[in-house]
């Protein structure tokens, strides 16, 4: 178990455009949010769901989880985490050094991935942290819904993009994946608590507006994002069809 002053937060909205009520979707007899919560608790001592909906609050309390109510006006999970951090610190009567933002639609998220991000904060210089996964399929490289990231030699994110980066000028696109090691971004974030409070006060940046990727706002304002590599890919549920395919897969225990 890692240090107890790292807080795991699971932002959960009821009003998903593509899948309304997604956190409460039944997966093998448990709501999705419960499965995410239980996976997170395998590595973190302090875990809360941050929601704006009383139905989700009721569900979390019913399985013995911890939950805080947050504003309906947040534009991102990061913003919701900033408000939740302040509320949880008052509830627990302690300050947290760092916060992990756990995706609420990955019911089988790996505790090992959570550990990778959490352990980044053993180094005092870490401001923000996230994960990358080597790209192994050409379709993933050119899929704009799977952001790519370029990483420096000292494991810092240089840039995120929905386009394949870098551009291999001398190679046909079909050969890019065999000529260069590309990385997809895995959307599990860690923030040092003081940095979380700072970045949520920043105005939207030009890079963020162009790519619709909030992490570019942080880079544009000079923050560093520590990166760790993972080879695991959590199952994400974005649509009712994704859930149907998961239920048919036979992996639910």
Say if 32 falls within a structural domain: yes
Say if 126 falls within a structural domain: yes
| pLDDT values of the chain reduced to their tens digit, one per residue, 253 residues | 445 599 999 999 987 777 788 899 999 899 999 999 999 999 999 999 999 999 999 999 999 999 999 999 998 999 999 999 999 999 999 999 999 999 988 899 999 999 999 999 999 999 999 999 999 999 999 999 999 999 999 999 999 999 999 999 999 999 999 999 999 999 999 999 999 999 999 999 999 999 999 999 999 999 999 999 999 877 777 777 877 777 777 666 5
Say if 235 falls within a structural domain: yes
Say if 246 falls within a structural domain: no
Say if 216 falls within a structural domain: yes
Say if 251 falls within a structural domain: no
Tell me how many domains the chain contains. Answer: 1
Say if 236 falls within a structural domain: yes
Query: What confidence score (pLDDT) does residue 1 get?
Result: 40
- Whole-structure pTM value: 0.93
Residues spanned by the domain of 158? 6-240
CA distance 21 to 58: 13
CATH number of the domain encompassing residue 197:
3.90.550.10
CA 91-33-217 angle, to 5 degrees, is 75
Say if 1 falls within a structural domain: no
Count H helices and E strands in the chain, helices first.
Answer: 10, 11
């Amino acid at each position: 178990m890692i240090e107890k002053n790292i807080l795991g937060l699971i932002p959960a909205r009821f009003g998903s455009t593509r899948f309304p009520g997604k956190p409460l979707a039944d997966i093998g007899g448990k709501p999705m949010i419960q499965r995410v919560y239980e996976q997170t608790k395998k590595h973190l001592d302090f875990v809360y769901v941050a929601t704006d909906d009383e139905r989700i609050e009721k569900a979390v309390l019913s399985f013995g989880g911890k939950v805080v109510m947050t504003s309906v006006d947040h534009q991102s999970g990061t913003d919701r985490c900033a408000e939740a951090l302040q509320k949880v610190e008052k509830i627990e009567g302690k300050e947290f050094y760092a916060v992990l933002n756990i995706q609420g639609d990955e019911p089988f998220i790996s505790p090992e991935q959570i550990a990778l991000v959490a352990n980044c904060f053993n180094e005092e210089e870490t401001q923000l942290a996230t994960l990358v996964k080597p790209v192994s399929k050409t379709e993933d490289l050119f899929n704009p819904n799977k952001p790519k990231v370029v990483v420096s030699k000292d494991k810092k994110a240089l840039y995120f993009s929905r386009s394949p980066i870098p551009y291999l000028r001398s190679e046909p696109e079909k050969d890019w994946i065999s000529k260069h090691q590309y990385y997809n971004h895995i959307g599990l974030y860690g923030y040092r608590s003081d940095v979380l409070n700072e970045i949520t006060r920043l105005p939207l940046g030009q890079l963020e507006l162009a790519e619709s990727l909030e992490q570019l706002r942080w880079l544009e304002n000079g923050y560093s994002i520590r990166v760790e590599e993972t080879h695991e890919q959590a199952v994400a549920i974005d649509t009712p069809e994704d859930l149907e395919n998961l239920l048919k897969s036979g992996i639910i225990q």
